[in-house]
A = this chain, B = another copy of it.
């Protein structure tokens, strides 16, 4: 394993997480792939917990994705087992048998129905998860539930992540607190069409499955689905949300409480999404791309993603080079409706191009000053209609190559 530099965006300390009822965490070290660190995570939810999820759209998705999708379809889940280091994807019948054996073992020890057990794997594709090793840890995991905290949970699911990712929100309704806690892992393969990473979010609000699923889909579009690191899509990725209901506060679809809850939920997901981008493999710059004036929000999103995924845009920013013509290239490449003579571009709030050509006020020194900072903003106004979108990404650096040219060894 390449020793990679800790991201310059790593938070000084892990997010403060409130105590959230109805959830118990356990982590252990299996030694399967990593030495001296936990790599198995168990999260146990109280009876009645509803679950929602979004999953990778990969046509070669891992067995864990298929199994967990089935649990989420029914809408109730009692626990989640995660392993880091081995994806157990593209492992055929053996991989399926291994996953089933682990779930069966966990069901026997916990007494929970197999159909209530969710599973997530992350790591090298094509490597088989050894159920014999995992199963030797199941009893210990189950008996340790409640002994680990969110930081340990977030640490146990890391692969090339350089820091543990967590976020939380607490809101009050008539003096009653509702908490939302989430963890996530990145950090390559963060695109497109979904989160394409792992994130697990728990709330103690009581929310029925259809509403929880709808909220997740909407907010996912503006958070995990609006980030990208290298345009690659994993076989294993999922975002799961569990609502334990332990706070006794119910959120209903026609509820006056709904907007406040959605706003808090979105803050958690956007914060986790930002943490993933900021820990993108080799990231040295956090880039925000706003596209406005597109023919639709969808079109704006596609254009913003195309800019965000362009290796030439990303390397220019890595090199602190104000080569804004590459943004024009990416806009043109998107295949979305664009009128070149209307395109207006700002970098760091500074006018670069107005109505399809370099601005007369163009001041490269000012732009270079902005590009030397660690947070870059690109605003593209297509001046056609009202469609808009924001996408976050990071730059493409030597460090990305170093990490990925030798990830497995």
Interface residues of A (CB under 8 A from B): 56-61, 87, 89-95, 124-128, 188-189, 230-235, 309-312, 315-316, 318-321, 323-326, 328-338, 340-341, 343, 353, 355-358, 396-398, 400-402, 404-409
**From residue A4, how far is it (CB to closest CB) to chain B in Å?**
13
Query: Contacts of A59 on B, CB cut-off 8 Å?
Result: 331-332, 334-338, 340
Asked, given contacts A230-B311, A328-B90, A397-B401, whether A408 binds B323 with beta carbons under 8 Å apart, the answer is yes
Interface pair A232/B329, CB less than 8 Å apart:
yes
Asked, given contacts A127-B325, A329-B235, whether A315 binds B400 with beta carbons under 8 Å apart, the answer is yes
Query: Contacts of A343 on B, CB cut-off 8 Å?
Result: 60, 90
Interface pair B60/A328, CB less than 8 Å apart:
yes
Query: Contacts of A58 on B, CB cut-off 8 Å?
Result: 329, 332-333
Interchain CA distance A99-B376 in the complex, whole Å: 34
How many copies of this chain sit in the oligomeric assembly?
Answer: 2
Query: Contacts of A398 on B, CB cut-off 8 Å?
Result: 398, 401-402
Interface pair A310/B232, CB less than 8 Å apart:
yes
Query: Contacts of A320 on B, CB cut-off 8 Å?
Result: 405
Asked, given contacts A58-B329, A87-B325, A90-B340, whether A357 binds B95 with beta carbons under 8 Å apart, the answer is yes
Q: Which of B309, B310, B355, B404 contacts A315 (CB 8 A)?
A: B404
Q: Which residue of B lies closest to A333 (CB)?
A: B233
Query: Contacts of A310 on B, CB cut-off 8 Å?
Result: 231-232
Q: Which residue of B lies closest to A397 (CB)?
A: B401
Interface pair A355/B409, CB less than 8 Å apart:
no
Interface pair A89/B124, CB less than 8 Å apart:
no
Interface pair B401/A321, CB less than 8 Å apart:
no
Interchain CA distance A357-B326 in the complex, whole Å: 40
Interchain CA distance A337-B406 in the complex, whole Å: 30
Asked, given contacts A89-B328, A326-B125, whether A189 binds B312 with beta carbons under 8 Å apart, the answer is yes
